[in-house]
Chains A and B, each alone.
Chain A
Amino acid sequence: MTAPNRPTTAPASAAEEDGGAPPSLEVRGLAYAYPDGTQALYGVDVTIRRGERVALLGPNGAGKTTLVLHLNGILHGGAGTVRVAGLEVDPADKRTLREIRRRVGIVFQDPDDQLFMPTVREDVAFGPAAMGLRGAELDRRVRDALERVGMLEAADRPPQHLSFGQRRRVAVATVLAMEPEILVLDEPSSNLDPASRRELAEILRSLDVTVLMVTHDLPYAAELCPRSLILSGGVIAADAPTLDLLSDADLLAAHRLELPFGFDPAAIPR
């Protein structure tokens, strides 16, 4: 049993709040162009404090996925910095990068991409085991993570035999097992039936972790995230309480966002 390698010196953050604890996520001036020349991000600034749940909204092609892939250093090489709980993402430093990938838990949109091991248990164990955990501590992590998403009974089943909603919950568990600083969800409600959608919302609300949720599902954002960002044209076009954003019809229209038929943000109690 070995503890994960933690860096001994955490670089001081520019904007220390919350009694000294650095924000979960701090993005400064992030710009990025793909190798083919397509510019996706034009200087993104975002700060997410510890424990916040924030929705990242925006039309297709706004750069949402590009931004997400910067958070754990998969994409890099443009301008700007990303800090996760004070630690700067530095793709050249393997040790730091490993710690960053532990701190940033990304749940991808298709659970079949996320769940690649033969059984649920092995899949949830993959992340912590890659960090070097073994034995009882590894078992505890796996059990805890599966319990938090209500999927402990499915531990020994192959992922392909689970329903889509169950697979999405297991995908969340695979990331929770790494005890991340921030949970990043890519379209968490896509392809879910209404019951699975509600169950996932209950699970997300019960977690004591910072959440960044990329979504087109505006009611879901309103339900789960007090604060929302609109990423449009590679910049943060708006950053405000979710209900304020959703009540601003002109703002939504300017960024190709639309409320579903019959949904009225004004009817939601604040």
Chain B
Amino acid sequence: MNNSVTSTLRVAWASLRILLVLTVVCGVIYPLVVTGIAQGLFHGKANGSEVKVDGTVVGSELIGQSWNIKGTKTPDPTWFQGRPSNSGYDPLATGSSQLGANDPTLVKNVRAARKQVAEFNGVPESEVPKDAVTGSASAIDPGISPAYAEIQVKRVAERNRLTAAQVERLVQDNTTGRTVGFLGEPSVNVLKLNIAVKELATK
């Protein structure tokens, strides 16, 4: 009995020391080496791909934002709108609705979103694409489908006193195709697109 207790303690002591040494290797040296390389080679990306307008950071190109009228839950027609978000695009509360694909609440939400998006953009409900009426996984999805951007072009152009063709071009400039041609889905970056719209409108 005594023997097995001492040998257990001996192994526990060795375990603790090996854990501490490996914590230094994997938990201190490894992340610091990666941080060093990352900050040296990819400074902007390692710090969150922040976007500036007139020298001030207005967001990250990877993190979606809310384009509601300030202080309300009403979408602002001046801007391209992103996807429905479970947290109102709060990066400190990421995650999705978690509703099952047959859930009655989700059915109700989708139906309401279709109606709202169609009216807001003046298009028939049949033209509303799937990403416009479904919540993203992260709640901070930076992208929308080219189809969703397409139905917003007319409204945004009118509100900013631009022509549809001008806005159309901005959409194309801010669309990323599938990475290397076949990975993922094409996506329009809403923040970068809205910055481009604002710049063109205030020129």
Question: Do A and B interact?
Answer: no
A contacts, CB < 8 Å to B = none
